[in-house]
Amino acid sequence: MSSLTLIKTCEDALQGLQCISKLRPDLVFLDINLPELSGLELLQMVPWLGSSVIVTSAHQKYAIDGYDYDVLGFLSKPVSYKNFVKAVSKALEKKQKKSPVQQSRPEKLAEQNISATDYPLQTPHFDATSLWVKFDRRLYAIPYQTICFIEGQHNYVAIFCTGGNIIRTRATVSEIYQGLPEHFVKTHRSYIVNRYQVNSIEGSTIKMLNNYKVSIAKDERNEIILRLTTGFKRMG
């Protein structure tokens, strides 16, 4: 098993969910007995979280309940080092097996949406693999790999996806940019580009793989091109 690094501990479920969305850890140890909102109640609200979770509890009955949400594993308290290593190893193996399946159907946006009124957190919302936004009274999970570029349109942003899907949601370019992974580049005050979806660059214009054209801010052109071509350090 590769080495693990503890990056954050949280006192309650909602604080934990906010940290997970920001830090995008590979594994989350979720206790069942939490103040105000239990671990299982949290999984009911956001079932996508199960793909990174190892449930921990002193009660074995929660092991079965946890698997209803497709969690990675269950760790019984008190936790011995041997059982910890065993649970983590199995969880990482299971997570690796899941990844190709999750990535094989990136265009099926509609199959991942739920009613926006059933989702308690504000959008835009960012998890380890997807951007969640409200559109037409529904909540959509848009896998990052399917986003070609994002355009600001007054009080809205338009998210242009591979396959021709365009999702519009109420947000600002800056708000969206802050939560996206590092391979997204803000090329202009109105545009965010997935650098893996760039076809060519000519002057201050980027041609994307979907044939749309996106502008580059002239005063930051050199830095932006470095970010697009080499993954140079993200600008603010």
Q: Is the peptide bond before 78 cis (omega within 30 degrees of 0)?
A: yes
pLDDT (average), residues 190-203: 94
Q: Can you tell me the distance from the alpha carbon of 144 to that of 161, in angstroms, rounded to the nearest whole number?
A: 9
Q: Which of residues 74, 102, 130 is at a domain's end? A: 102
Supply the range of the domain harboring residue 26: 13-102
**CATH classification at residue 36:** 3.40.50.2300
Look at residue 12 in the predicted model and tell me its pLDDT: 81
Average pLDDT, the chain: 79
**CATH classification at residue 148:** 2.40.50.1020
* Same domain, residue pair 147 and 40: no
236 assigned to some structural domain: no
pTM above threshold 0.85: no
pLDDT (average), residues 166-177: 92
5 assigned to some structural domain: no
- The larger pLDDT score, comparing residue 135 to residue 31, is at 31
Q: What is the tens place of the pLDDT at every residue in 204-218?
A: 999 999 889 999 999
Q: What is the tens place of the pLDDT at every residue in 50-64?
A: 667 888 887 765 554
Reported as a pLDDT band with limits 50, 70 and 90, residue 111 is: very low
The answer, yes or no, to whether residue 27 has pLDDT greater than 70, is yes
Q: Which of residues 41, 73, 102 is at a domain's end? A: 102
Least confident stretch, 49-58, 65-74, 145-154: 65-74
120 assigned to some structural domain: yes
Q: Which of residues 55, 72, 102 is at a domain's end? A: 102
How many domains does the chain contain in total? Answer: 2
Nearest by Cα to 88 from 102, 72, 109: 72
Q: CB 111: neighbour CB atoms within 10 A?
A: 8
